Chain A
Amino acid sequence: MKRHLISAADLTRDDAVLILDTAEEMARVADRPIKKLPTLRGRTVVNLFFEDSTRTRISFEAAAKRLSADVINFSAKGSSVSKGESLKDTALTLEAMGADAVVIRHHDSGAPHRLATSGWIGGSVVNAGDGTHEHPTQALLDAFTMRRRLGEGVGSDLSGRRITVVGDILHSRVARSNVHLLTTLGAEVTLVAPPTLVPIGVQQWPCEVSYDLDAVLAKSDAVMMLRVQRERMNAAFFPTEREYARRYGLDGERMARMPEHAIVMHPGPMNRGMEITAEVADSPRCTAVEQVTNGVSIRMAVLYLLLGGNEPALTAGTGTSTRTEESK
């Protein structure tokens, strides 16, 4: 794996499978009475959040702490950034404090790429969501959830699986990362949205695009509903919330038309009544809560692989022996 995780497109199939497999090992730690590994003891992970995001930040925080890393949370609000400090000076400050990894969430697309390539810092950079560009750990946790729920074992990918992503593709970093990662893992991706919320240039993406949700539901192994921000309505992307919900929302009736094994996913936070009804959100087929749990395992795996090198994640031998058991 590379030194940074900026884009899901940077991951090869083997990289991605390694992360998913490592996350399986990490998930086991969560089942222990003491949910902690000494792996990153003495290493410093900075959560650099320029955008409000409670769930992603605490997920990274939990992941780093379970690996025994020291965690520094830096949020733009009330910090030097709100006094006009530049990204560069913030980065130089963190570098001076000895950050081994910087987990960055930023409102500008490309900010993590810039941080990783500008020479401002020497540590690893993990993209925790940049503008409308990418959110690679979200895609990884989604893939992890799919692999588990669709009954694929450790070491496998998502070959032949059909995944439908529904909603605001244009502004979604989750969609972009998922298109890259899921196709790398062998899945067939279909994006569904009103034409106003599909980017110009999407025809170059390795996926299908449909404007008709009903037409693709029956052949989907997983349907991922994206959050649609209510302010999009004011920019005339669609006429009303109700019309959006009627045409692109997932309700019980539509869910019933999905194959029996198919799951419903949502990266959260959900707009109940908008893209997803309460009936669907609360059904056992919806993996939203499970995705949050899996997020911690995935982020542990990413931090471990970026910072921990090649030593086994679990205490000597455990990792390997678990894997052997699994492959029996």
Chain B
Amino acid sequence: MSKILIRGANVLGGEPQDVLIDGETIAAVGTGLSADGARVIEAAGQVLLPGLVDLHTHLREPGREDSETVLTGTKAAAVGGYTAVHAMANTFPVADTAGVVEQVWRLGRESGYCDVQPVGAVTVGLEGRQLAELGAMHDSAAGVRVFSDDGKCVDDAVIMRRALEYVKAFDGVVAQHAQEPRLTEGAQMNEGVVSAELGLGGWPAVAEESIIARDVLLAAHVGSRVHICHLSTAGSVELVRWAKSKGWDVTAEVTPHHLLLTDELVRSYNPVYKVNPPLRTEADVLALREALADGTIDCVATDHAPHPHEDKDCEWGAAAMGMVGLETALSVVQHTMVDSGLLDWAGVADRMSFRPAHIGRLEGHGRPIAAGEPANLTLVDSAYRGVVDPAGFASRSRNTPYEGRELPGRVTHTFLRGRTTVVDGILA
């Protein structure tokens, strides 16, 4: 493999430096590095980040290749600056056996655009009754460390307790989709002022918060770690903050859309805003931003959820829940966190690469930008401003809530172990 010299980039938003990539690793970081024999990428004014890591991606393959495949999903990831994604288990068939997780893992290796780390289901068929073979999935070639029934909540307290205990044997983590099912029967949107007016079934904050409260207590009781998916309410933030203050091993993620959008948008009845957990209020959005800034929320995870056009081109009640997010995540984070002064670029590197890689115990990702480290990198033109046009997405689906919205920042280059997967904003 050839050498690449990234010249004059603001490493983690700091002073301009040169970064020399040799083969799959970073050979040197410094100023005035020799370009001898290297392809040069002029990066003055751009921000160099470690390759982004997503803890929460729906790649839909196997089973729903009409909305996304591992190939199209990893292309979208590369465009968004990601070098590794965790593929959620709610596929058809469900990723609840070593066979399915190995298939997804292998498809990821073949795609070549970013690393795919499969997430294993906690229970057979995501049905919440019987533990899936967690050990077999861990021991498989896929090496699963993160387990989740995402899309469904592990609502049975005993099953959740057992899962938390069981994965300790191989340093696994259960990522909980916190949604009390009885409190959310027929729920369509956040329960509050807007749902009352629109006559849409309410999704109370307490349905999320009560599960989080239970699970942090369970994790503490059995001495395991628990990860909370897509926090969406101010109350959830308080609970995670409290659990962390006790020294319990609790981590949490927030999606880009919960950092920006509110339930006021549902007044349009446009199903592009229909998502699980639902868009909440302005107060929730502000609490989530603050919690991400102070570290109460460990990381940003996209919950990239592709759906075919017809599943959104319909009435609200008939529409699928979810939004694509890989290709817009960094822009939304820049807009909500960096440009607002809440987080610097080093903070972005921490919340979008270092910490998610650590939670997933993912090797070779989320590493410092230093000599000898794997060359997984993302170069960002933070001065760029552009209007989101889903027609240009690499994802097979177009269900973005940001169509027509101006957002800052653009990934110009993504490097996966020294190889460029994105060059000048275009898939290599």
Interface on A for B, CB 8 Å cutoff?
Answer: 86-88, 106-111, 113-114, 117-118, 130-134, 173, 176, 199-202, 204-205
Contacts of B196 in A (CB 8 A): 199-202, 204-205
Residue of B nearest to A107 (CB): B317
Nearest CB of chain A from residue B76's CB, rounded to whole Å: 26
Report the bound CA distance from A106 to B200 in whole Å: 13
* A88 and B199 within 8 A (CB): no
B80 within 8 A of A: no
Check B316–A200 contact: CB distance below 8 A. Answer: no
- How many pairs of A and B residues are in contact by the CB < 8 Å rule? 78
| Cα-based distance from A111 to B310 in the complex (angstroms) | 15
Contact assessment for B314 and A201 in the assembled complex, using a CB-CB cutoff below 8 Å: no
Q: Encode contact with A along B165-205: 1 for CB under 8 Å, 0 otherwise.
A: 00000000000000000000000100111111111111010
Alpha-carbon gap, A86 to B317, bound state (A): 12
Docked pose: A173 CA to B199 CA in angstroms: 8
Which residue of the partner chain, among B191, B192, B193, B199, contacts A109 with CB atoms under 8 Å? B199
Closest 5 CB pairs of A and B: A108-B317, A133-B199, A201-B196, A110-B269, A199-B196
Report B129-150 residues with CB < 8 Å from chain A CB.
none
Q: Which of B197, B270, B316 has the most CB of A within 10 A?
A: B197
Q: Is B198 a contact of A109 with CB atoms below 8 Å?
A: yes
Residue of A nearest to B317 (CB): A108
> Chain A nearest CB: distance from B314 CB in Å?
6
Q: Taking CB as reference atom, which chain A residue is nearest B201?
A: A132
Of A87, A117, A131, A200, which is within 8 A of B199 by CB?
A131
Q: CB distance A87 to B198 under 8 Å?
A: no
Max chain A C-beta neighbours (<10 A), residue from B193, B195, B200, B317: B317
When distances are taken between beta carbons in the complex, the residues of chain A under 8 Å from B268 are 117
Q: How far is the CA of A255 from the CA of B198 in the complex (A)?
A: 32
Q: Determine if B310 and A86 form an interchain contact, defined as CB atoms under 8 angstroms apart.
A: yes
Identify 9 new A-B residue pairs, CB closer than 8 A, beyond the known A114-B269, A114-B270. Answer: A88-B313, A107-B317, A109-B317, A131-B317, A132-B199, A132-B200, A201-B191, A201-B195, A205-B197
How distant is the Cα of A117 from the Cα of B271 in the complex, in angstroms?
13
Q: How large is the interface on B (under 10, 10 to 19, 20 to 34, 35 or more residues)?
A: 20 to 34
Given contacts A134-B199, A176-B199, contact A110 B315 (CB under 8 A): yes
Q: Is there a chain A Cβ closer than 8 Å to B318's Cβ?
A: yes
Query: Is A176 a contact of B197 with CB atoms below 8 Å?
Result: yes
Q: B: which residues have CB within 8 A of A?
A: 188, 191-202, 204, 268-270, 310, 313-318
Given known contacts A110-B269, A200-B191, A201-B192, is B314 in contact with A87 (CB within 8 Å)? Answer: yes
Smallest CB separation, B120 vs chain A (Å): 34
**Which residues in A have their C-beta under 8 angstroms from that of B188?**
109
User: Please, could you name 17 A-B residue pairs with CB atoms under 8 Å apart, sorted by A?
Assistant: A87-B314, A108-B316, A109-B188, A109-B199, A109-B269, A110-B198, A111-B316, A114-B269, A114-B316, A130-B199, A131-B317, A200-B191, A201-B191, A201-B192, A201-B195, A201-B197, A205-B196
Residues of chain A within 8 A of B192, CB atoms compared: 200-201
Shortest CB–CB separation between residue B104 and chain A, in angstroms?
30
CA distance A87 to B314 in the complex (A): 6
How many Å lie between the Cα of A108 and that of B201 in the bound state? 10
Do B316 and A110 have beta carbons less than 8 Å apart? yes
Contact B199 A106 (CB under 8 A): no
Q: A201-B192, A201-B193, A204-B193 are in contact. Are A111 and B313 (CB under 8 A)?
A: no
CA distance A88 to B315 in the complex (A): 9
Contact assessment for A200 and B198 in the assembled complex, using a CB-CB cutoff below 8 Å: no
Tell me whether B314 and A86 are in contact (CB under 8 A): yes
- A108, A134, A202: the one contacting B315 at CB < 8 Å is A108
Shortest CB distance B161–A (Å):
28
Nearest Cβ on chain A to B13's Cβ, whole angstroms: 41
Interface centre among B192, B196, B268 (most CB of A within 10 A): B196
A87:B315 contact, CB within 8 angstroms: yes
Say how far B134's CB is from chain A's closest CB, in angstroms.
36
A88 touches B195 (CB 8 A): no
Determine which of B202, B270, B315 lies in contact with A199 in the assembled complex, contact meaning CB atoms within 8 Å.
B202
How far is it, in angstroms, between the C-alpha of A113 and the C-alpha of B195 when the chains are bound? 15
Indicate if the CB atoms of A106 and B315 lie closer than 8 Å.
Answer: yes
- Residues in B with CB closer than 8 Å to A176 are 197, 199
Q: How far is the CA of A132 from the CA of B199 in the complex (A)?
A: 5
Q: Which residue from chain B places its CB closest to the CB of A108 in the assembled complex?
A: B317
Shortest C-beta distance, A322 to chain B (Å), equals: 38
Residues of B within 8 A of A86 (CB): 310, 313-314, 318
- Give the docked Cα–Cα distance between A88 and B310 (Å): 9
Docked pose: A39 CA to B197 CA in angstroms = 36
What is the chain A residue whose CB lies nearest that of B310?
A86
Q: How far is the CA of A29 from the CA of B84 in the complex (A)?
A: 72
The distance in angstroms between the C-alpha atoms of A130 and B198, with both chains bound, is 10
A114→B194 CA distance, assembly (Å): 17
| Minimal beta-carbon separation of A96 from chain B (angstroms) | 18
User: In the complex the two chains form, what is the Cα distance from A87 to B310 in whole Å?
Assistant: 11
Closest to A169 in B: B196
By CB atoms of chain B within 10 A, which of A110, A130, A200, A202 has the most?
Answer: A110
Looking at the assembled complex, report how far the CB atom of B349 sits from the nearest CB atom of chain A, in whole angstroms: 40
Known: A113-B269, A176-B197, A205-B196. A200 touches B202 (CB 8 A): yes
Distance between Cα atoms of A204 and B198 in the complex (Å) = 13
Partner of B204, one of A111, A134, A200, A202: A200
The docked-state distance in angstroms from the alpha carbon of A201 to that of B191 is 8
B191: A residues at CB distance < 8 A: 200-201
In the complex, chain B residues whose CB is within 8 Å of the CB of A173? 199
